[in-house]
């Protein structure tokens, strides 16, 4: 039986002795799609590694223009195949074509590729640093091995392993990529891979720079991230899988960047509710149910005061949750995990306010679900009550008093984001000042009066945070040029003559537009 | 029996239920010094952690000026106690008072503290990034826990856990520090701690910002680096200990920065020998025997062509090695480890050219030692023949031909440095061009025509490198401001009003001199 081919060393080929096969399932109909994709054996992984290893030595001699042109041509090709992508992704993931896939996620994806192209062209991302007196010069350079990318299930475009933010950053930083498709949307990933293939053939990027495997066994994933030829791994997905990969990489001394689960606490201070209860309720409802709540920045934990306004907010959010149809979920596992997570929350004292069960409509659906728990009970089981329910689920924590609001913040694990809603005229300022210093140590992005969903791709964005939200609090997965630094090693040149230096470190500014840190000053001038 | 007191929570106090005690040993006389220091129980560690945890919340409200003044006062106090420090350090480590301790390492230490003060004052190190359109702002901020510092045995001043580069960087970045003395020089460390104590009392830095324990059991070290209250750990020392700490930290999801062993390959290309054999021999000899070879940048591996010039170089270096007295070693363990490492090299085919044995003069001494091995044999046991012999020991690898020189580079593990000596008029250029792309992926600092010892403290310096030289190739342990970034988390403020932002991210440039990345441009202007 023949499966969809994998992309190894610039060639579409049948997987070598695959250990199995799989098909995506349409979550709306619960029926498998027709294309079957191989579960690769380690032999495919080895072929890809060996081809990528060659690229590590070829790519440095490839002109930056080629990389830039590739990223731009790839973005063009994606736009040319927009309708095909949107249709396939909606079939594989159940996500709405409009506005989500066509008007939001696809433009975001091509925008990321073009921003990465622009960063590669400008070269400032590599933070060239020159000390003229000592003739010591350094910059961030590509890693000595390919970047392995595991994309998540919830962003078939913008975090796709072969087209998303990690891919764009890894390529722009000069690394070859081995992409592993998320098994939830292999058909979408295949279209991206074809678009990339066409682009690198047209532009002349060395052909093993971009490789794709659809799936492999978990134990082979562990071997891959620990393999001596790998540069680093970028993983976006569940904490369980992320921590297993981390352990394997750690033991081998291999870098790994992980973006794992997050419950994104939202603190709603009393003044905000007095001032704009309905507005807050609507924002919370929209953010919780957007994309059926399947976002790493979904507001899964809401902390507020146990008083009349707090109860009123919960009633209003509950009403909105009930009024909205249960959205489609990505697949049956997401559904099962939501049910299990809610059971775990209930076991530790949370009570269901609304929802809490699977919906018997066509497709995988779970009712929009609100739970509640007292601050006292939360304090007894802070870890269990922070378990992520990945979907349209949120837990309200009702604090006895303001001191307990602050206390709850001390129990929080590392999160991607933390939001504080407060009175616009300063009535909550005293409480804000007690809460913020604690909360900001637990999150990567501290937000005021806004929900955490919606992650702008701008230089100051930080999509990361303290463990266990990620594996390192100093790196962001979103935001160019900073996201490129995950895929680079600092390399210093000591007493190396001009003609042996990379152009970025030679006296003359290679583009005239590149920022360099020369003798302690950021400048675009020549040395 | 009473021991020297530890410094916990701003107070000099007796260790609580110490599990033992130790004294430094004078390596020149092999006799213990009089002062006895406690081996702390975990109860001292817990006290220090709890006090440091309070600092995490106090320090952000302390003016940067206080930190700056502390670092400068500390440097002043060190200079005031220069002679006492030099005398104690030479007694505890056997290192030469002049020029090493008094004229090189002590000025380097105070210079690092003052550079760190200047970086803290200027604030550019935190890489404030502002996107005005979206009002998203981010910067590197102190970690949510103390920095635990384990200093190495070989730099009693410049890498001392309570006065060296890691200490300066951690404090300048706004973190409290828990220093663990290297048990080789507790008396020196005590003087530094007293100087720091006096400085923070005078200046008014919160008193638990700087704490000191002298020693604890290895298993308590593992518990410490994995402790939930710890921010990160900076370790400089042996690979064996480093990897054990790494494993403990990794499992707990805690950051750890490691600077472990390195053999610092030096490639001497044929043209360089034709041109300046004696010069190269002298440089190699000096670099190998400086400080009795006890440097992390000691050139432990020399790769060259098996020909007449190669043999002549070895003969000349061998003659110089024999002519020089065997220097004092830090302690008996260093001596034992050298002997064991040389035995290991011999077991894998290396032959002793000169030295190879302990010297029966007063003090711990090992003969300056050269070994040799063929490129063929090296290729058979590349890992074993890269084992570090920490001391005045170097292994010459004689390659059959130029291709084998390049091949040897492919076998190298990650190193702090890699040097290439070549002909000054370009006769080695073809070989350089084949070798450099391979070598530069294995090292943090690529050096031309210079030995690796001597690590300038300048912004472009990179003292780091790929695993297993360190745990992360993107961070440097030397060079300010970059070394501060190890001790910081990226923190983003999304939609946060001016008066709630840290001053570094407010519209007005807080110093007028701080570099910020505003809308994609580095600038000192206000928003």
Catalytic residue list of B: 259, 296
Nearest CA in chain A to B523: A522
B301, B251: one domain: no
**pLDDT mean across residues, chain B:** 97
Name which of A489, A501, A506, A517 to mutate to probe chain B: the one with the most chain B Cβ atoms within 10 A of its Cβ.
A489
Q: Do B500 and A448 touch (CB under 8 A)?
A: yes
A176-215 pLDDT per residue, tens: 999 999 999 999 999 999 999 999 999 999 999 999 999 9
* pLDDT higher than threshold 90 for residue B360: no
Element spanning A332, H or E: helix A332-347
What pLDDT was estimated at residue A361?
87
Contacts of A438 in chain B (CB under 8 A): 57
A156, A272: one domain: no
Catalytic residue list of A: 259, 296
3-state DSSP of A186-237: HHHHHHHHHHHHHHHHHHCCCCCCEEEECCECHHHHHHHHCCCCCCEEEEEC
3-state DSSP of B271-322: HHHHHHHHHHHHHHHHHHHHHHHCCCCCCCEEEEECCHHHHHHHHHHHHHHH
Put simply, whether B246 touches A (Cβ < 8 Å) is yes
Structure tokens at B140: 């590197």
Put simply, whether B492 touches A (Cβ < 8 Å) is yes
B76-131 pLDDT per residue, tens: 999 999 999 999 999 999 999 999 999 999 999 999 999 999 999 999 999 999 99
Residue A148: half-sphere exposure toward Cβ, Cα within 13 Å: 31
What pLDDT was estimated at residue A2?
80
Per the CB < 8 A criterion, the answer to whether A105 and A155 are in contact is yes
- C-alpha B482/C-alpha B476 separation (Å) is 7
A201, A312: one domain: no
Distances (CA, A) of B14 to A126, A212, B1, B20, B21: 49, 61, 11, 13, 12
Q: Do B495 and A448 touch (CB under 8 A)?
A: yes
- C-alpha A155/C-alpha A171 separation (Å) is 19
What pLDDT was estimated at residue B511?
95
Closest by Cα among A400, A346, A406, A353 to A376 = A400
* Residue B261: pLDDT band with limits 50, 70, 90: confident
A426-455 pLDDT per residue, tens: 999 999 999 999 999 999 999 999 999 999
Q: Do A133 and B458 touch (CB under 8 A)?
A: yes
Give the residue carrying structure tokens 């000025």: B107
- CB nearest B456 (choices: A136, A246, A482): A136
Contacts of B138 in chain A (CB under 8 A): 460-462
- C-alpha B460/C-alpha B289 separation (Å) is 27
Structure tokens at B277: 């054999």
Contacts of A130 in chain B (CB under 8 A): 460
Distances (CA, A) of A481 to A348, B129, B270: 43, 11, 42
Distances (CA, A) of B427 to B269, B489, B514: 9, 48, 46
B contact residues 105-134, partner A, Cβ 8 Å cutoff: 129-131, 133-134
* pLDDT higher than threshold 90 for residue A390: yes
User: How much of chain A exceeds pLDDT 70, in percent?
Assistant: 100
A244, A164: one domain: yes
Closest by Cα among B302, B293, B279, B454 to B367 = B293
* pLDDT higher than threshold 80 for residue A142: yes
Q: Is residue A95 part of a domain?
A: yes
- The arithmetic mean of pLDDT across residues B324-344, rounded, is 97
A315, A250: one domain: no
Q: Is residue B174 part of a domain?
A: yes
- C-alpha A235/C-alpha A243 separation (Å) is 10
Q: Is residue A31 part of a domain?
A: no
Examine the predicted complex and report whether its ipTM is higher than 0.95: yes
Put simply, whether A187 touches B (Cβ < 8 Å) is no
A275, A247: one domain: no
- C-alpha B3/C-alpha B504 separation (Å) is 45
- Residue A367's φ and ψ, nearest 5 degrees, are -60, 140
- The residues with which A302 forms a beta bridge, in sequence order, are A266, A396
A85, A216: one domain: yes
Helix (H, G, I), strand (E, B) or coil at B491: strand
Residue A502: half-sphere exposure toward Cβ, Cα within 13 Å: 24
Q: Do B57 and A485 touch (CB under 8 A)?
A: no
- C-alpha B298/C-alpha B288 separation (Å) is 6
- C-alpha A201/C-alpha A184 separation (Å) is 27
Q: Is residue B464 part of a domain?
A: no
Distances (CA, A) of A267 to A285, B9, B344: 15, 33, 60
B312, B343: one domain: yes
We report the CATH number of the domain holding residue A332 as 3.40.309.10
Helix (H, G, I), strand (E, B) or coil at B231: coil
Contacts of B71 (CB under 8 A, 6+ apart): B113, B114, B116, B117, B120, B168, B171, B172
Q: Is residue A177 part of a domain?
A: yes
Q: Is residue B291 left, alpha or beta, with left meaning phi > 0 and alpha meaning psi from -120 to 50?
A: left
Contacts of B134 in chain A (CB under 8 A): 456, 458, 460
Q: Do B432 and A482 touch (CB under 8 A)?
A: no
The alpha-carbon gap from A459 to the nearest alpha carbon of chain B, in Å, equals 7
B contact residues 281-320, partner A, Cβ 8 Å cutoff: none
Give the DSSP per-residue string, B393-452.
EEEEEEESSHHHHHHHHHT---EEEEEEE--TTSTTHHHHHHHHHHHTTTEEEEEESS-S
Structure tokens at B164: 């060296």
What pLDDT was estimated at residue B361?
87
* pLDDT higher than threshold 70 for residue A251: yes
Give the DSSP per-residue string, B135-187.
TEEEEEEE-SSPEEEE--SS-TTTT-TTTSHHHHHHHHTT--EEEE--TT-HH
Per the CB < 8 A criterion, the answer to whether A192 and A164 are in contact is no
Distances (CA, A) of A85 to A412, B372, B520: 39, 61, 32
- CB nearest A57 (choices: B437, B456, B468): B437
Helical H segments across A59-126, by residue range: 64-80, 82-93, 106-122
Distances (CA, A) of A325 to A202, A290, A360, A392: 46, 12, 12, 11
- C-alpha A247/C-alpha A226 separation (Å) is 9
Structure tokens at B54: 């309070």
- C-alpha A397/C-alpha A412 separation (Å) is 12
Contacts of A417 in chain B (CB under 8 A): 494
- C-alpha B475/C-alpha B169 separation (Å) is 12
Strands A25-26 and B6-8 turn out to be unpaired
* pLDDT higher than threshold 80 for residue B468: yes
Helix (H, G, I), strand (E, B) or coil at A406: helix
What is the residue range of A140's domain?
6-24+51-260+475-484
Q: Percentage helix, strand, coil, to 5, in chain B? A: 45, 20, 35
Give the residue carrying structure tokens 């760190």: B116
What pLDDT was estimated at residue B264?
98
Distances (CA, A) of B191 to A390, B163, B184, B187: 55, 10, 14, 6
Q: CB count, 10 Å around CB of B159?
A: 29
B202, B296: one domain: no
Q: Where are the beta strands (DSSP E) in A325-428?
A: 351-354, 369-374, 393-399, 415-421
The alpha-carbon gap from A60 to the nearest alpha carbon of chain B, in Å, equals 9
What pLDDT was estimated at residue A1?
61
Per the CB < 8 A criterion, the answer to whether B493 and A446 are in contact is yes
Q: Is residue A56 part of a domain?
A: yes
- C-alpha A518/C-alpha A524 separation (Å) is 9
Contacts of A433 (CB under 8 A, 6+ apart): none
Q: Is residue A519 part of a domain?
A: no
- CB nearest A497 (choices: B448, B466, B490): B448
Q: Is residue A32 part of a domain?
A: no
Q: Where are the beta strands (DSSP E) in A269-357?
A: 301-305, 351-354
- The arithmetic mean of pLDDT across residues B319-347, rounded, is 97
- The arithmetic mean of pLDDT across residues B452-463, rounded, is 95
B309, B438: one domain: yes
- C-alpha A241/C-alpha A32 separation (Å) is 24
Put simply, whether A421 touches B (Cβ < 8 Å) is no
- C-alpha A373/C-alpha A263 separation (Å) is 15
Q: Do B492 and A461 touch (CB under 8 A)?
A: yes
A244, A317: one domain: no
Give how many domains chain B has, as a whole number: 2
Sort B247 into a burial class: Cβ within 10 Å, 0-12 / 13-18 / 19+.
middle
What pLDDT was estimated at residue B1?
61
Put simply, whether A81 touches B (Cβ < 8 Å) is no
We report the CATH number of the domain holding residue A125 as 3.40.605.10
Length of chain A: 527
- C-alpha A266/C-alpha A303 separation (Å) is 6
Per the CB < 8 A criterion, the answer to whether B286 and B247 are in contact is no
B351, B324: one domain: yes
Put simply, whether A402 touches B (Cβ < 8 Å) is no
Per the CB < 8 A criterion, the answer to whether B516 and A460 are in contact is no
């Amino acid at each position: 039986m023949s499966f969809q081919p994998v992309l190894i060393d610039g060639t579409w080929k049948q997987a070598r002795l695959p250990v199995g096969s799989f098909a995506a399932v349409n979550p709306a109909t619960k029926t498998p799609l027709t294309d079957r994709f191989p579960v690769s054996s380690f032999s495919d992984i080895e072929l890809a590694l060996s081809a990528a290893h060659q690229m590590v030595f070829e790519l440095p001699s490839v002109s930056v223009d080629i990389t830039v042109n590739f990223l731009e041509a790839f973005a063009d090709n994606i736009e040319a195949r927009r309708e095909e992508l949107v249709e396939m992704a909606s079939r594989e993931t159940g996500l709405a074509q409009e506005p989500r896939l066509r008007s939001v996620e696809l433009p975001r994806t091509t925008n990321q590729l073009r921003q990465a192209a622009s960063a590669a062209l400008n070269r400032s991302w590599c933070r060239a640093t020159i000390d003229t007196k000592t003739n010591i010069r350094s910059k961030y350079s590509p890693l000595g091995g390919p970047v392995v990318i595991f994309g998540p299930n919830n962003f078939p475009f913008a975090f796709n392993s072969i087209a998303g933010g990690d891919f764009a950053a890894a390529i722009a930083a000069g690394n070859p990529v081995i992409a592993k498709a998320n098994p939830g949307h292999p058909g979408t990933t295949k279209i991206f891979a074809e678009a990339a293939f066409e682009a690198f053939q047209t532009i002349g990027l060395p052909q093993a720079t971009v490789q794709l495997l659809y799936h492999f066994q978990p134990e082979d994933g562990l071997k891959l991230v620990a393999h001596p030829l790998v540069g680093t791994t970028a993983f976006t997905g569940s904490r369980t899988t992320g921590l297993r990969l981390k352990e394997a990489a750690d033991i081998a001394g291999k870098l790994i960047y992980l973006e794992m689960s997050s419950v994104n606490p939202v603190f709603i201070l009393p003044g905000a509710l007095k001032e704009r209860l309905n507005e807050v309720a609507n924002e919370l409802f929209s953010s919780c149910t957007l994309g059926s709540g399947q976002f790493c920045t979904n507001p899964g934990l809401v902390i507020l005061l146990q008083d009349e306004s707090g109860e009123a907010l919960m009633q209003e959010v509950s009403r909105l949750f009930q009024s909205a149809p249960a959205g489609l979920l990505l697949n049956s596992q997401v559904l099962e995990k939501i049910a299990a997570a809610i059971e775990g929350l209930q076991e530790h004292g949370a009570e269901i306010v609304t929802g809490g069960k699977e919906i018997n409509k066509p497709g995988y659906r779970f009712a929009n679900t609100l739970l509640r728990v007292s601050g006292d009970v939360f304090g007894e089981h802070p870890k269990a009550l922070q378990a992520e329910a990945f979907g349209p689920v949120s837990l309200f924590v009702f604090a006895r008093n303001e001191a307990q609001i602050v206390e709850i913040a001390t129990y929080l694990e590392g999160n991607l984001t933390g939001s504080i809603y407060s009175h616009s005229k300063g009535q909550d300022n005293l409480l804000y000042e007690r809460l913020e210093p604690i909360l900001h140590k637990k999150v990567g992005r501290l937000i005021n009066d806004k929900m955490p969903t919606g992650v702008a791709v701008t230089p100051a964005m930080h999509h990361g945070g303290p463990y266990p939200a990620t594996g390192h609090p100093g790196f962001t997965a979103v935001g160019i040029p900073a996201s490129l630094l995950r895929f680079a090693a600092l390399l210093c040149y000591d007493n190396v003559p001009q003609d042996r230096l990379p152009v970025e470190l030679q006296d003359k500014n290679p583009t005239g537009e590149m920022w360099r840190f020369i003798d302690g000053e950021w400048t675009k001038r020549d040395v």
